[in-house]
Amino acid sequence: MKKSLIAAALAPVLAATLAPAAVMAQAAPAAAASPTAGAKVYDAEGNDVGTIETVQGDVVTVNTGTARAGLPKSAFVARDKGLTIGMTKSQLEAAVQGAQAKTGEALAAALVADAPIKSSDGVVLGTVSKVEGDNVTVALQSGSAVALKKNTIGLGADGALAIGVTAAQFNASVQGATGGATGK
């Protein structure tokens, strides 16, 4: 969920900074990139950017050691040294920090009483009933309430509040925590 937000926030930055990769690709032949977990990632000058953590669909998660960014597969070209992107490590980290700040601001604005909270599979689990410090009380569809930490809530692709588990996983967790009494 957060990965897709960061990838979406990075899209304008990537569009502007990947142009040097396209120029570089014209200057010397580049092979089609096939990112895989564990592969090293380099910038156009051959300097280390980070390592690929995961590849899920078209999103490739790069870990710089300081930041994690979801990049589209099209951002990578295969060069002699390895997978290359058109951003330096510091540019990528700065873009991630900027995206996280924007996401944090948007999340704070959305985290208000009566706002629905969805599961990762789009099911409305309940609504925010109270936000207090780092805790969010959620009134569930079943009539009961649960307390969640703010850092477990993010924004889904549709801009709605969401958590990173499916409805089934969430309900199983709530049942386990309440001894099976969820009101269903």
For 99-154, how does the pLDDT look when each residue is reduced to its tens digit (9 = 90+)? 888 888 888 899 999 999 998 888 999 999 999 988 999 999 888 999 999 888 98
Q: Which two tokens stand for residue 64?
A: 């710089």
Put simply, whether the predicted model's pTM sits higher than 0.85 gets the answer: no
Q: According to the model, what pLDDT value does residue 141 have? A: 83
Q: According to the model, what pLDDT value does residue 132 have? A: 92
Grade residue 22 by pLDDT with cuts at 50, 70 and 90.
Answer: very low
Alpha carbon distance 49, 64 (integer Å): 6
Grade residue 82 by pLDDT with cuts at 50, 70 and 90.
Answer: very high
Q: Which residue pairs from 102-108 have beta carbons closer than 8 angstroms and sit at least 24 positions apart in sequence?
A: 102/9, 103/2, 103/5, 103/6, 103/9, 103/154, 103/155, 106/155, 106/159, 107/153, 107/154, 107/155, 107/161
Count of beta carbons in the 10 Å neighbourhood of residue 171: 19
Count of beta carbons in the 10 Å neighbourhood of residue 168: 11
Q: Is the pLDDT of residue 4 over 70?
A: no
Tell me phi and psi for residue 89, to 5 degrees: -60, -45
Q: According to the model, what pLDDT value does residue 8 have? A: 43
